[in-house]
Amino acid sequence: MAGRHRRNGNRGGHAVTDAPGALDARREMVGRLRRKGLTDPRVLEAMSTVPRERFIPEQYAAMAYEDRPVPIGAGQTVSAPDIVALTATALALTGRESVLEVGGGSGYAAAVLALCASHVITIERRAHLADRARRVLGDLGYDTIEVRHADGMTGAPDAAPFDAIAVAAMAHEIPPALFDQLAPDGVLVCPVGDASSGELLLAGAGRRTSLSRVSFVPLVEGLDR
């Protein structure tokens, strides 16, 4: 149905009306991703479905589908669409996986991952961002996502092992606790570098591959209430 999600698109059982122009903007975004060589059909279908504008504060909503990170408050951003797509593509999700996301922020990337996997736990250290992400995801019906206000450096050991882990903040090195929570044949994507600049690395199963040069906010230990 034009202008609305398919009933099973968000796995929540109810449709959501798109903001004016959002459907066309998503189509244009997906076209840009294809031209950049990001062609995984599961990822592109998810990104053509998730209403990115709903995860962004109203004052920045007009920037939702631009090819750039968008502010969400507290010095944080929702990653640019190509970084979300690159991360999800690198995880090679088939729809059966249990996924951990560290640095949940707005909840947008978790929504994309949820449409590519079976279940997602997303961790956000800032209470107000976790609360907002939980509310937006609930309103949109993404019932296969669990939002936790927790320290992402420690992961979610009670729910391990994970088939895939995505980190959305720059680490000096990949936190050992996350490797410990990865299934033996699982994969992990994490930006690694100094300050806000580094490489997006794919690691796991004895491999470590650089996917792209990236810029992210730093991965910080502890909670912010």
Give the Å distances, CA to CA, from 206 to 23, 86, 99, 158: 41, 20, 19, 24
CA dihedral 115, 172, 222, 123 (to 10 degrees): 0
CB atoms under 10 Å from CB of 61, counted, come to 16
Q: Is 79 a catalytic residue?
A: yes
E-state strands within the chain: 70-73, 76-78, 98-102, 119-124, 145-149, 162-167, 182-194, 197-204, 207-215
CB atoms under 10 Å from CB of 21, counted, come to 11
Tokens of 95: 């729809």
Which of 79, 118, 197, 210 is catalytic? The answer is: 79
Residues known to be catalytic: 79
